[in-house]
Structure 1
């Protein structure tokens, strides 16, 4: 579904989209109002995980108490979504010093607020289950997870890191739409095949919140 290194034509198309959407985003510049409910309203750690969400003793104790209640899909979901969320956080943290639109900055802040606690929650599950926790990628190199739905390749991340202003806004939104679509796909699989209740609940929240954010981002790009 995604490529670790997109063809030159894909990157050229992205640059073209950046130029075409500049006028739409210019109208949003400096506007700090939220463009949608986003993760913050639907995906708090307390709503998506067992009591004591995170990598602490509470999450471990809860998961241990439910021994046998998870399956291989639950493990795959957590091991895949952790690096997927980490890349989203890397993208979101670039917005503060590069984005020109207040709405883009607000969206990025909401993504970070929602997904960082979810990473800690999933880490807690994996540790409690005795499963491997994915190691953080080196810098912006996510080549080890390049085949995952919605993951950006190294060249895409490098382009985003070098962009600024309206060009950054459009590139960020375009890439994050694809990233969110991948997360929704992964979460939908967990909804269908997972067994562990808190993991399925988190998947529900991801589908709801990120689908809403996709619509919000497309509107900012003038596609809504």
Structure 2
């Protein structure tokens, strides 16, 4: 009787011990898995934060008419610069012109996307109204430095050294118009993001004007 009573106690103890070990192991695995999940969550939050910064727009209400006008005018201005830059492929004869055209595309295309996102956040149209155009009395479309259709046709028809000279001359004029618009934004704008972009335009395009003038000197 005594042997009969003692016999099942050992397996039960062993079973309990095994269950305890398994449970403990499960908790450890769960904890490790939880840490991995948390790491993933940490990475996700960092990625989200970086993405948010990359696509951040000025807060609604934190802008004025000058900010809106700057974005609405600079978008088509940049778009024409991209059109001019793309013409260099197959037409430019100077390697420095080709390189500069590539830099213009790389810099201005993302800026267009950024300015469109601002206007969307502000509830404003991408294209300026006709009422806002008279105030900008520069260029063919009322914007500083814009090329006329005749200018663009001439650039499309040129090749080699003729293209290089025409491109440099036109882009200098185009950049100077953008710089003027950016300076107006820095003086009259309100939102920090737009004023920061205006500062980048002034800095980068002023440097490109200097480079283009040097190219013209040697052509």
- Normalising by structure 1, what TM-score? 0.67
Q: Give the equivalent residue in structure 2 for 1:21.
A: none
Residues 87 and 185 (structure 1), Cα distance of their counterparts in 2 relative to 1, 3 Å cut = same
Q: Give the equivalent residue in structure 2 for 1:11.
A: none
In 2, Cα distance between equivalents of 1:203 and 1:67: 19
Contact conserved, 2:144 with 2:178, CA < 8 A, in 1?
yes
Q: Give the equivalent residue in structure 2 for 1:52.
A: 54
Query: What is the alpha-carbon root mean square deviation over aligned residues?
Result: 1.7
Contact conserved, 1:92 with 1:111, CA < 8 A, in 2?
yes
Q: Give the equivalent residue in structure 1 for 2:176.
A: 181
**Aligned runs of 1:20-31 on 2, under 5 Å?**
none
Q: Give the equivalent residue in structure 2 for 1:211.
A: 206
Which 5+ residue runs of structure 1 have no aligned equivalent?
1-49, 54-58, 136-143
Q: CA deviation at 1:67?
A: 2.1
Match of 2:105 among 108, 112, 115: 112
Q: CA deviation at 1:145?
A: 6.0
Match of 1:152 among 129, 147, 151: 147
Contact conserved, 2:60 with 2:121, CA < 8 A, in 1?
no
**Aligned runs of 1:129-140 on 2, under 5 Å?**
129-134=122-127
Residues 145 and 70 (structure 1), Cα distance of their counterparts in 2 relative to 1, 3 Å cut = farther
In 2, Cα distance between equivalents of 1:181 and 1:52: 28
Q: Give the equivalent residue in structure 2 for 1:198.
A: 193
Q: Going by fraction, where is helix more abundant, 1 or 2? A: 2
Contact conserved, 1:83 with 1:145, CA < 8 A, in 2?
no
In 1, Cα distance between equivalents of 2:124 and 2:60: 13
Q: CA deviation at 1:97?
A: 1.0
**Aligned runs of 1:57-136 on 2, under 5 Å?**
59=56, 62-63=57-58, 66-134=59-127
In 1, Cα distance between equivalents of 2:153 and 2:64: 37
**What is the aligned length?**
157
Larger radius of gyration: 2
Contact conserved, 2:61 with 2:122, CA < 8 A, in 1?
no
Q: CA deviation at 1:147?
A: 1.7
Contact conserved, 2:87 with 2:156, CA < 8 A, in 1?
yes
Higher relative contact order, chain-length normalized (CA < 8 Å, sep 6+): 1
Question: Is the aligned partner of 1:165 residue 2:160?
Answer: yes
4+ aligned runs moved over 4 Å, structure 1? none
Q: Say which SS state the counterpart of residue 221 (structure 1) adopts.
A: helix
